A and B are shown apart, each in its own frame.
Chain A
Amino acid sequence: MSATRDQVLADLRERITSIEGDGVKKAGCLPFGVPDIDAVLPGGGLAHGALHEFAGGGSGTVDGAAAALFAAGIAARTKGQIVWCLTRPDLFFPALAQAGLPPRRVIFVESDKEEDVAANMEEALSYGGLGAVVGEMVRLPMVVSRRLQLVAERSGTIALAVRRWRRQTEASDFGQPTASTTRWRVSVLPSEELPVPGIGRPRWFLELMRSRAGECAEFEIGACDDKGRIHLSAGSRDRANTSRGSLYSG
């Protein structure tokens, strides 16, 4: 009985994906290598050929430091060239190199206007054959995010949007719906305790705020290492589906 039901379900799923994914490359996904996080994400990792959004919490909404490094860590674990679109050139590359992203892999596209960032991202995504396309942007309206998502689906390139606002109060914009596949908020936490005075490995509070066909979750993680990998911080637990609001909401 259950065998026939499974077969029918599998058949139906196949038909739905064939309708949905008309002309879409099956791109697979990029696992974090952290079983707890990968288990929450449908497909077991960040989907290739999709738009993922990252924002900071607290003062990170303005500087976008943790979100940018988190995105850089993901980009570092992909294969191929990275295109990084931005308007404010305050990224300090040695830090990206310390997260496993060598300078020869990144091409920066700097524009004067905010709108050009999305256009440049779209162009880079449609070019294909790149590892990842990162864009630092303030606004991400529904239409723009939809376009980016569709172009990413077509070429199979992973699109990472780092949201970064001018003022902390503007960050409420992050609640607006977009077409991105996943949406993350990365806030800084006090670093790991060391037996001696000093700063240990930085820790982040990672919130998966939206995940298409998946559930929301929260993690406490250790920041990217020199290969761009994160790890679950000691003493933290997977607090999936908590009704509590986030600790560091912007």
Chain B
Amino acid sequence: MIAKSGSKRWVSAADAAARKAGVRVGMQAAKAQALFRGLLMVDADPAADAAALERITLWALTQYSPIVAMDAPDGIVLDTEGADHLQGGELPMVTKISNQFLAKKLTARVAVADTWGAAHACARAISRETVIVPSGEIARAVERLPISLLRLSEKTVGDLQTLGFKSIGELANTPRAPLTLRFGPEVGRRLDQTFGRTSEPIDPIRTPELIGVSRAFAEPIGAAETINKYVGRLIVQLIEKLQKEGLGVRRADLIVEKVDGTRQAVRAGTAKPARDVAWLTKLFKDQTEKIEPGFGIEKLTLVAVMTEPLEDIQKSSSLVEEEVTDMTPLIDIFGNRGQRVYRVAPVASDVPERSLGRIHAASDPVEATWIHHWRRPIRLLARPEQIDVMALLPDHPPVWIMWRGKRRKVQKADGPERIFGEWWQRCSEYEAVRDYFVVEDDAGERLWIFRSGDGVDPETGSHRWFMHGIFA
């Protein structure tokens, strides 16, 4: 990648092979060409890059966090506070982000830190794909990083390097007054932002298509009831706007701007497009207690970041059809609280642990069910547990079994029910067989046990016995 500035042509990006040949970013184009013959040079297109970055930023806005902005020219910044638990925590979230880029054959570096500055520096310095800086550990994380990651102008960085500053730590430990005198207030401001001593609000990206309403207050508000009241009004306004466009909300963000210049965001998502005032109000009211008004709230903004067409549909008369309660609002309430909501659906497999799958709770109901001629246990152990038994080979049920240190005499038994391995799943199951028995001990407890193997051929399994489920 070659960029032009004036008449100077220099390398602005290089792939792994080029880096191996010695090409470095910032090198003159002629020098790079001299290093390696046949170097493929592509002219950089900053406008297209910026457009692509904006697209990625908008995607991240709908996916990960309500407050997302471009960190031009080569990054995006997300405020994930209060949004990471929806992805299962910080680590699963950054892994997911990185994997989603990998799937598109892009390499992303993801860093989580307390401040924008620290995350900016860490993401550009790491050689791994992801890093999470624990809360309060910023100083340790950034002190050894070069000052070029401090988001200062190129000239300032060059001058500082001339003076002998290399790492952020060195710069932070230098008296501030001479630095300010020499370079202006910018150095001190960036340092403070990196270490979290001054706030740096992220101005979220917005496009004209996003439908939003906002309300500014002449006097800052703070009481929970007042917040609820105005959120309710904003929802009504938003719904009116959506109604005109024929859209329904899938994801809506409430951005709270406080007197001290900080922002907080609350996000609510729905499983199906919604345009119902009560439904959305409930979702936001659940979360208003999370809003910390601090010294007061100046402005509330409600934006529908993800919308889908929602047409009015004709409902059949309740006299004709049985009324079915729509569960979607309830599913949304659970989903926004971070609970896992799902239905189970049959999967065509004889192996018990594979015979069911989780599907989305709001998906269309599956009419299929399991067809079993044999009884199935109500509790299935997560992994079959090995047990000691005494049994006659090849196909008699055990006489006694020992499970979790308790020996049980088998009074009655049913079986064997033979289940074959699925060779199309794993080649180790090519000949595998499980013989399931239902056994009842003298206290009446009914257990589901199986022998791995058919009792004759050692190819079919180890002939060890396992406990797999508990009947009622």
Tell me the A residues contacting B by CB distance below 8 Å.
58-59, 63-66, 68-70, 72, 80-81, 83, 90-98, 102-104, 106-111, 116, 120, 123-124, 127-130, 186-191, 197-199, 202-204, 223-224
Q: Is B446 an interface residue (CB 8 A)?
A: yes
Size of interface on B: residues with Cβ below 8 Å to A: 49
17 contacts between A and B (CB under 8 A): A58-B445, A80-B325, A90-B379, A91-B378, A91-B379, A92-B376, A94-B372, A95-B375, A103-B345, A104-B343, A110-B342, A120-B337, A120-B339, A130-B325, A189-B444, A191-B446, A199-B440
Known: A91-B380, A107-B327, A190-B442. 8 other contacts (CB 8 A): A103-B366, A104-B366, A109-B340, A111-B340, A127-B330, A130-B325, A188-B445, A190-B411
Among B104-112, B129-137, B311-319, B464-472, the stretch that binds chain A is: B464-472
Contacts of A59 in B (CB 8 A): 445
Q: Are A197 and B412 in contact (CB under 8 A)?
A: yes
Q: Which residue of B lies closest to A205 (CB)?
A: B444
Given A92-B380, A107-B361, also A70-B341 (CB < 8 A):
no
Give the residue among A123, A128, A186, A187 with the most B Cβ atoms within 10 A: A123
Q: Is B331 an interface residue (CB 8 A)?
A: yes
Flag B453-472 by CB within 8 Å of A: 1 or 0 each.
Answer: 00000000000000001111
Q: Give min CB distance, A116 to chain B, whole Å.
A: 7
Q: Which residue of B lies closest to A224 (CB)?
A: B472
Contacts of B470 in A (CB 8 A): 63, 65
- In the bound assembly, the distance between CA atoms of A187 and B472 in angstroms comes to 9
Q: Which residue of B lies closest to A85 (CB)?
A: B339
- In the bound assembly, the distance between CA atoms of A72 and B379 in angstroms comes to 13
Q: Are B341 and A107 in contact (CB under 8 A)?
A: yes
Q: Are B334 and A188 in contact (CB under 8 A)?
A: no
Q: Are A90 and B339 in contact (CB under 8 A)?
A: no
Given A109-B341, A188-B446, A203-B444, also A93-B361 (CB < 8 A):
no
Q: Give min CB distance, B140 to chain A, whole Å.
A: 31
Given A65-B379, A92-B377, A106-B344, also A198-B412 (CB < 8 A):
yes
Q: Give min CB distance, A112 to chain B, whole Å.
A: 8
Q: Is B382 an interface residue (CB 8 A)?
A: yes
- In the bound assembly, the distance between CA atoms of A80 and B413 in angstroms comes to 37
Give the residue among A90, A91, A187 with the most B Cβ atoms within 10 A: A90
For the complex of A and B, list the 10 residue pairs with the smallest distance between their C-beta atoms, beginning with the closest. Answer: A129-B325, A104-B365, A69-B472, A92-B380, A94-B376, A66-B472, A190-B444, A95-B378, A110-B340, A94-B370
- In the bound assembly, the distance between CA atoms of A93 and B379 in angstroms comes to 9
Flag B323-352 by CB within 8 Å of A: 1 or 0 each.
Answer: 001010111011001011111111000001
Contacts of A92 in B (CB 8 A): 352, 356, 376-380, 469
Q: Is B191 an interface residue (CB 8 A)?
A: no
Q: Give min CB distance, B215 to chain A, whole Å.
A: 29
* B199-233 at interface with A (beta carbon < 8 Å): none
Given A65-B377, A90-B380, A91-B379, also A109-B414 (CB < 8 A):
no
Contacts of A90 in B (CB 8 A): 379-382
Q: Give min CB distance, A143 to chain B, whole Å.
A: 19
- Selected from A110, A130, A203, the residue in CB contact (under 8 A) with B339 is A110
- Selected from B342, B366, B412, B469, the residue in CB contact (under 8 A) with A191 is B412
- In the bound assembly, the distance between CA atoms of A69 and B337 in angstroms comes to 28
- In the bound assembly, the distance between CA atoms of A108 and B414 in angstroms comes to 31
Q: Is B367 an interface residue (CB 8 A)?
A: yes
Contacts of B376 in A (CB 8 A): 92, 94-95, 98
- In the bound assembly, the distance between CA atoms of A249 and B21 in angstroms comes to 78
- In the bound assembly, the distance between CA atoms of A223 and B378 in angstroms comes to 12
Q: Which residue of B lies closest to A189 (CB)?
A: B444
Q: Are A123 and B333 in contact (CB under 8 A)?
A: yes
- In the bound assembly, the distance between CA atoms of A64 and B378 in angstroms comes to 9
Q: Which residue of A lies closest to B342 (CB)?
A: A108
Contacts of A223 in B (CB 8 A): 472
- In the bound assembly, the distance between CA atoms of A66 and B444 in angstroms comes to 12
- In the bound assembly, the distance between CA atoms of A52 and B325 in angstroms comes to 23
Contacts of B370 in A (CB 8 A): 93-94, 97-98
